[in-house]
């Protein structure tokens, strides 16, 4: 007499080709597929670029280099790269000006005085962004200067 194998449906164990184990796995896999599809659609809905607020961005100065080297300041945030989310999504904009305006709005939200070390990259035609339309990604460091005394 053949020994029964534990845990695996087979003809030896007396299961037919459509065993309850196989049906359960098929249902579980389709549930997993629906869960993944829901997460992907939710993530794509949240992937819109933040709108630039023109009032708050005027107060935040933008510098490609850091003119405050050697002077005291506090870093309040790394715009678009200071979060775990940047591994999955960073905002891109159709123009460099729109990308910088959005950074200024975010820096103003953090109550920063300036953006330093600002860099912008056009991702058009890159490995991850397969489009011929411009897609600018800008990033930088938001800083707060100490209050002026005297």
Pairing status of strand 136-144 against strand 114-122 = antiparallel
Question: For the segment 121-141, what is each residue's pLDDT rounded down to a tens digit?
Answer: 888 766 666 667 888 989 999
Q: What is the pLDDT of residue 69?
A: 93
In the chain, what are the domain boundaries?
10-46, 54-144
Q: Which tops the pLDDT comparison, 87 or 23?
A: 87
Q: What is the pLDDT of residue 100?
A: 95
Answer whether 128's CB lies under 8 Å from 116's CB. no
Does pTM top 0.85 for this prediction?
A: no
Q: Which tops the pLDDT comparison, 150 or 137?
A: 137
Element (H, E) at 75: strand 74-79
Q: What is the pLDDT of residue 86?
A: 76
Q: What is the pLDDT of residue 90?
A: 79
Tokens read off for 106: 């975010």
Question: For the segment 36-93, what is each residue's pLDDT rounded down to a tens digit?
Answer: 655 555 444 444 444 444 454 558 999 999 999 999 999 999 998 877 777 788 788 9
Q: Which CATH superfamily is domain 54-144 in?
A: Hypothetical protein apc22750. Chain B (3.30.110.70)
Tokens read off for 68: 């405050």
């Amino acid at each position: 007499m053949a020994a029964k194998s534990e845990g695996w449906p087979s003809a030896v164990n007396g299961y037919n080709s459509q065993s309850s184990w196989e049906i359960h796995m098929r249902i579980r896999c389709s549930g997993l597929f629906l869960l993944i599809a829901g997460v992907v659609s939710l993530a794509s809905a949240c992937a819109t670029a933040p709108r630039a607020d023109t009032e708050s961005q005027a107060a935040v100065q933008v510098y490609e280099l850091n003119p405050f080297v050697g002077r005291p300041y506090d870093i309040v945030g790394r715009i678009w790269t200071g979060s775990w989310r940047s591994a999955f999504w960073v905002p891109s904009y159709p123009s460099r000006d729109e990308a910088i305006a959005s950074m200024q709005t975010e820096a103003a939200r953090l109550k920063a005085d300036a953006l330093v070390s600002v860099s912008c990259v056009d991702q058009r035609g890159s490995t991850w962004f397969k489009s011929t339309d411009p897609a600018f990604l800008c990033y930088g460091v938001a800083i707060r200067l100490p209050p002026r005394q005297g």
